[in-house]
Amino acid sequence: MISEKLMKSLNEQINYEFYSAHIYLAMAAFCANEDLDGFSNFFKVQAEEEKFHAMKLFDYVVEMGGRVTISAFDEPQNDYTSMLDVFMKGLEHEKLVTQRIYNLTDLAMEEREHATISFLKWFIDEQVEEESTFNSIIKKLERISDNSNALYMLDAELAQRTFTPPAQ
């Protein structure tokens, strides 16, 4: 039996994952406007992943007999100074998400809610992936600096990214 407090926090995380998708769509739009379609594709796929995270939580709350409520989102940042700036903001956001997942897990542990602890384990592992993806692209962008040929090569690489729902 999940407490009301834990249910509320899970609900907040559903909304936060949708908000993450919202942020990444704003980044995708910025990249498209810079004619960097590969970068734009990367963020469109990233937004799909966030929606997948949200729906995974959504289904869990329903399965546990809770009530999902969808709230409004803040307006995401739409303008950036460079691709490096975009990815730095992305990494910052992912770190915030990681902290939120940790807080949720702490709460589930306090309440000895083992099913939820086990469920959240997937998100803990996923956040390691998320931060590592952003970190590695940041490293590449730092090396690229203002070499536009290298930037277009990375753009071509990011154009290859596709969304495949992770194994359950």
Q: Which is nearer to Fe ion, 50 or 155 (CB)?
A: 50
Which has the closest alpha carbon to 161: 20, 13, 11, 28?
A: 28
Q: Which is nearer to Fe ion, 17 or 113 (CB)?
A: 17
Smallest distance from Fe ion to CB 44, Å: 14
For 8, 12, 41, 46, 133, the CA distances from 25, given in Å and listed in that order, are 26, 20, 10, 8, 17
Smallest distance from Fe ion to CB 94, Å: 5
Contacts with Fe ion by CB under 5 A lie at: 17, 50, 53, 130
Q: Which residue is nearest to Fe ion (CB)?
A: 53
Q: Which is nearer to Fe ion, 118 or 132 (CB)?
A: 132
Q: Which is nearer to Fe ion, 17 or 155 (CB)?
A: 17
Smallest distance from Fe ion to CB 18, Å: 10
Residue 18 near residue 50 (C-beta atoms within 8 A): yes
Smallest distance from Fe ion to CB 64, Å: 20
